[in-house]
Structure formats: structure tokens, C-alpha cells
Amino acid sequence: MVDNVFVLMPAYNAGKTIEKVFARIPAEAMRRITRMVAVNDGSKDDTLAVLERLRLQYPNLVVLNHEINRGYGEAEKTLLRYAVKEGAGAAILLHSDGQYSPEKIPELLDPLDRDTADMVQGSRMMDGGALRGGMPLYKYVANKALTAIENLAFGLRLAEYHSGYMLYSRRAMLEIPWERLSNSFDFDLEMMVLALVKGMRIAQVAIPTIYAGEKSHVNSVKYGFDVLSVVWNYKRGKYDRL
């Protein structure tokens, strides 16, 4: 069983949702979490103040701060730098908007505990739950289309590549050159591509789809082109040279 588990949480304008995310982490998971680390990525609301308040409730919470917004990928890099430095055995990327279920943490840890994976993704596209959970049809269709292209390019049969609910083993954190990856929302996809290039094992676990009116910070059109750019760069051998 993997130990020294860290929860890493990028937070941007999440003042209205982040407390609920912490409250939903089950006791079973809390018993295994050594440290929770959140980075306020230049939020314009009260996210930083809420995080400071949460520190009183959760003594193992560490709050990092970007004075200005640096982007999703750079927020993850800040969190990973901290996790590697502090000896994390596994890192769970849990978003602060509540769309990824904290209740699934024990199940997501299972492949790492059994040493059957180096990277785990929580997927909304498994078990047909995406549309039932309220995923907009255009996002569902786009996800399916991009995933088909990616599976063809990468030679895999994954349910999707576009969930940001990621778990990284210490091996993944140490061996993937993530400092050289995107500062935008395609960071997680590039992590998966590098795991493939380096022969790491990727597992997926079904998670519920949750849409409750939270504002997305992802530009869907730009993200789609970024994904296609990652596929193109993979075929060109860019990631083999990192």
C-alpha cells in the first residue's frame, strides 16, 4: 500500500466551492492523506482567505500562493514541485470546483496500492455516466471524437484523455519531465503521453459526472486545438526527445 499520500489542489476563483470539496473527502481517505496542498493561482475572489480559514480546520493543509494567475499547468507544477520536495509517495490532483468527486479517492488509490499502475485517471466517460450526470452534449461529442483520434495515434484504448482527476505515483513524478510541459489545460494530457513514452502503466477508474453550474475556465475551442497539437507533436517524436 502506497504511503505518504498528498492531495494537490489548484484553485482559481474557487471561493464558493472549495470548502465543500474539502468537506466531501471521506474519512477513509483522510486517514491516508499525509498532507493537503492548495495553490491559489492569482484568484480575484476570496479563494486565498477561504484557504487560510480552512487551515484552522485542517492542520495538514499547506497553502501556496501565486500573486498573479499563471495558468492551470503552472499551478500543477508548483504543486508537484512541493510534493516531490516533501517526499510524497503519491499525489492526487483534486480540483477545487467540485466537479471531481472526492468520495472516489479510495478507489482511485487502489491501482497504486496494488502496484498495477504508475498513473491513474478518474474517468467520467466509463460506464455511460457522462450524459446521465449532465455533461453537455457538445462536450460529450467533442470528448468522444478527440479520444478516438488520440487512441488511434497513441495505440491505446482508454475511455478518455480529458479528465483532470489524476493520480501520480512517485515514479511518475520523478521520471516524467513535467517542468517542460504546457502551462495550460493540456498539461494532464501531456503527462499521460509522457507516461506512455516512458513505458508506464496507466489505469482508469470510473467517476461520476457532476455539473452544478460551476463556471468553467476552459476555452473549449482552444483546448481542442491544443489536444490536436499534442497528438501531432507525439507523432513527430517531440515527447521522445524530452
The enclosing domain of 233 has a CATH number of 3.90.550.10
Edge-to-edge strand list for the sheet holding 166-169: 61-66, 33-41, 5-11, 90-93, 166-169, 119-123, 202-206
Number of compact structural domains in the chain = 1
Mean pLDDT of 50-60: 97
Q: Could you tell me the pTM of the whole model?
A: 0.94
Task: Judge contact between 6 and 37, C-beta under 8 A.
Answer: yes
- Please determine, for residue 214, whether its predicted confidence score (pLDDT) is greater than 60: no
- Chain centroid, CA 123 distance in Å: 11
Average pLDDT in the chain: 95
Strand partners of residue 205? 122
Strand partners of residue 35? 6
Look up the domain containing 90 and give its range.
5-240
Alpha-carbon span 195 to 77, nearest angstrom: 16
